[in-house]
Amino acid sequence: MTFNKSIKDHSRFVQCVRFSPSGDSFVSAGMDGKMFIYDGKTGDKISELTGASDGHTGGILSFSWSPDGKQILSCSGDTTAKIWDVAAKSVVTPNVVATNGVPNGIAATGPYVVVASGTGHVSLYQDDAIVFSKTFTWTPTAVAISPDAKYVAIGDEAKVVHIFSFSGDSLDEIQALNNNRGEITSLSFSPDGSMLASADRERTILVFDTAAWTVGLQSSCSSY
């Protein structure tokens, strides 16, 4: 892994960075309540996304791209979840779902939205209607949903990635992945759902094969 650029547009901690589905751009979100859009190849800043008057009033903790790359769903310490039009740089829906406290992670695909809060509560919505809700004994720190909505992955403070199967109205845990070395900070499925990447506070990134839930790639990042 080669380090070739440092970006310092945020004034506070960066909480989430995700590439668009096409890879043409990526967005960063931070505790300063801002999101910036960058060119996916050069890393050059294109614009700020969060200048709207009805934007978040707290730090942005996580976000998720729509499959077509036209919208972003973000969640914040202000306990709201908003849908943004990327091209117009405007809020489409000011508060799309309830976050049940400060959200630690949010993910979406098609009509489904999953929200995980620091209280241990996880909610799954379909077309704005809640279809699953549960408070776990462990604290969720990151969440991802596969493109086909077959799996939901939830990371926790104890270095575990919990894998759930989704059947339309329930989440059933089928795997507990204990390969990471620190608290899980980010999770993301590949566009075809064949891989799941997990990152932790010990600067380790693992990529799992979702057919067998085995590690296919591991990388450790140095501090810069």
pLDDT score for 167: 85
Kindly report the pTM of this predicted structure.
0.82
- Bridge-partner residues for 122, per DSSP? 116, 134
Give pLDDT < 70 ranges for the chain.
Answer: 1-3, 98, 220-224
Using one digit for the tens of pLDDT, what is the confidence trace for 6-19?
899 999 999 999 99
pLDDT score for 179: 95
**Residues with Cβ within 8 Å of residue 8, at least 6 apart in sequence:** none
Q: Please state, rounded to an integer, the average pLDDT across all residues of the chain.
A: 89
